[in-house]
Amino acid sequence: MAVYEFVCPKCGRKFELMRPMSEAKKPAKCPKCGSKAQKLISSFGSKTGDSIQAAGKPFRKRTAARAPSSKAKATIQKAGKRKKSAKK
């Protein structure tokens, strides 16, 4: 589901609708006067946890490299074994 912003050309009201992306081009009616609203072009933002991030900015800054998890280590080891067996 995506949030789409609209503005009513008749009364000037701005509003948002949450719709599936398959309905992105479907016209919207103004909740105040009922006339056909125009879709606005807005910037992208996403919610992660308690904060909202604007487009083009990193979601988190890491000060130090994080050690891989045990599952990641197992995957790395399996990949290394496959490479060695392919060279033989």
Residue 3 has pLDDT above 80, yes or no: yes
Residue 88 has pLDDT above 60, yes or no: no
Q: What is the CATH number of domain 1-42?
A: 2.20.28
As given in the structure block, the two tokens for residue 87 are 């060279």
pTM, two decimal places:
0.50
C-alpha span between 84 and 51 (Å, rounded) = 45
Q: What is the pLDDT of residues 8-36, one digit of tens each?
A: 999 999 999 999 989 989 999 999 999 99
Mean of the pLDDT values across residues 49-76?
Answer: 62
Q: Using DSSP, how many helices (H) and how many strands (E) does the chain show?
A: 1, 6
Helix ranges, the chain (H) = 70-87
Type of residue numbered 56: G
The Cα-based distances of 4 to 29, 47, 80 in angstroms read 13, 15, 46
Question: How many Cβ atoms from other residues are within 10 Å of residue 34's Cβ?
Answer: 11
